[in-house]
Structure 1
């Protein structure tokens, strides 16, 4: 999916585990299918998962999670990844990697939610809990800065989509929604704690209810609009309203959140349309949802 992606396989994972965590040597290892874009996941036995970066940026995410997940976990209403082993580069593999406790559940799918309103409430509870955290020393969240910082990349994506007519994106409507987000007042309060990547693939549900949030590699502080992504990448209109009301989102933050979510989708669609079907399909869903609303 990305230039310079590092190949990994079951054999490498077995060697890494055996060399650094001999207590787990001999446990079954199996690739876990994932729509993730910068990490590979391997089940280790019944109760663990190995997460290995595929690109240098993923290695940075590993270190962020090691530092912050133990501190954030006590403040959150859902389970989050628990690091059981901190792997280091060896066997020709160049980056740090981690062993986590396995979290059961399934990724929710936009358009196929069994409990959309309760799920919206659960998601709002998680976002509100993140915002209430006051731990010092937080990094700046990926995507946490001003909306205008995304302008050049967003406009370039819109132009690229003009050249892919089979995707059927209304580029004029997308531009109008994006420009509305640029005009919206920026966040003038203190930066808040954010997950900053609340995609369906980073959520786990059981019986339709949120049980876990994973992949905190983009975490940090910034504009609260950054954690409104599920309103458009997952929730239907009625549940979207519940999510907004539960978080008491003002008009300017809502407009910025919608623009940010659209921007991410516009950029993702041409990039992933031939390499990551799950990411591309969710990008299409977001574009439809936002343009219907906006």
Structure 2
């Protein structure tokens, strides 16, 4: 049995034995490969390596199989599209698996990327990493939206649409954070107007989704959310990943005006507020990342 941390009360746990059985049933061409669980700070999937060049991702939260399949198919299309424009390596879709061997949902297989995630190799003081991150964001912004607009799911649309979620975050954080100060900050952030059209965006540039080699960006993970959104959304990476000096390098490289920069800070704030309390016991690394991001935002507003 693999020792997985339970992060959600309704989590579907997956073992190496289950993955091995699924591969033998559905992808016998890989049945001789070693199956290894991958320790991860991720909160959406259990991840297993299959041999040296593939990884399998298993959704953690139970859902209707047909709905999960539709999501995985959409994510595969998005990942393949991003791979065509990214100047850095990204995982590419390989196959979709079916429910079986006691696992109730579809699952996905993609290429494996070597590298160290930014949680473990903090690149926050590196100007060249900031330049790399800016190059990645610029490449996505330059991709064609083909008439698509933000689909309304999660972050990337209207800040004030997250008021109910933020109210819950403030309530849950009363014993954890300086909530009165954070409420005042959100009351300003939520009013920041949206003036720019959607651009293509990664949507979740947190340290667990960024690979580092030395002090350079070596790859980007979790690319299934690639799609149109607020141009400021990917600026969350400035606050999740960078110290003040490199953060300024990113801003200058992308030529962000004051409004876009503040909206990026607002999206990072919205995300970090949820991470702190939701994962305070089940994923301390993710909760701590949220705290660090909030500290950086507060320091920048002093």
> What's the TM-score, normalizing by structure 1?
0.92
* Gap regions ≥5 residues in structure 1: none
Distance in 1 between residues matched to 2:234 and 2:24, nearest whole Å: 39
Corresponding residue number in structure 1 for 2:4: none
Paired residue secondary structure (1:41): strand
Corresponding residue number in structure 1 for 2:250: 243
Structure 1 contact 111–236 (Cα < 8 Å) conserved = no
Is 1:185 aligned to 2:193, yes or no?
Answer: yes
Corresponding residue number in structure 2 for 1:277: 284
Q: What whole-Å deviation, never above 9, does each CA across 1:242-264 have from its counterpart, x for those lacking one?
A: 11111111111111111111111
The Cα shift of 1:72 comes to: 2.2
Structure 1 contact 51–97 (Cα < 8 Å) conserved = yes
More deviation, 48-57/34-43:
48-57
Is 1:48 aligned to 2:54, yes or no?
Answer: yes
From 254, 257, 273, the equivalent of 1:266 is 273
Distance in 1 between residues matched to 2:127 and 2:196, nearest whole Å: 29
Corresponding residue number in structure 1 for 2:23: 17
Is 1:98 aligned to 2:104, yes or no?
Answer: no
Corresponding residue number in structure 1 for 2:132: 122
More deviation, 64-73/249-258:
64-73
* Gap regions ≥5 residues in structure 2: 1-6
Structure 2 contact 12–60 (Cα < 8 Å) conserved = yes
Corresponding residue number in structure 2 for 1:254: 261
Is 1:148 aligned to 2:148, yes or no?
Answer: no
Please tell me the root mean square deviation across aligned C-alpha atoms, in Å: 2.0
Residues 197-216 of structure 1: pairs in structure 2 closer than 5 A: 197-216=204-223
Paired residue secondary structure (1:229): helix
Structure 1 contact 142–219 (Cα < 8 Å) conserved = no
Distance in 1 between residues matched to 2:212 and 2:14, nearest whole Å: 28
Corresponding residue number in structure 2 for 1:80: 90
The Cα shift of 1:115 comes to: 5.6
The Cα shift of 1:135 comes to: 4.4
Distance in 1 between residues matched to 2:255 and 2:167, nearest whole Å: 30
The verdict on how the C-alpha distance between 1:9 and 1:137 changes in structure 2, with shifts beyond 3 A counting, is farther
Distance in 2 between residues matched to 1:101 and 1:114, nearest whole Å: 27
The verdict on how the C-alpha distance between 1:77 and 1:287 changes in structure 2, with shifts beyond 3 A counting, is same
Distance in 2 between residues matched to 1:114 and 1:232, nearest whole Å: 9
The Cα shift of 1:128 comes to: 0.9
Distance in 1 between residues matched to 2:199 and 2:59, nearest whole Å: 27
Q: What whole-Å deviation, never above 9, does each CA across 1:178-219 have from its counterpart, x for those lacking one?
A: 122122221x23211111111100011111211111112333
Q: What whole-Å deviation, never above 9, does each CA across 1:148-170 have from its counterpart, x for those lacking one?
A: 111121132122212x1xx3x22
Count residues in correspondence. Answer: 289
Paired residue secondary structure (1:121): helix
Distance in 2 between residues matched to 1:13 and 1:206, nearest whole Å: 29
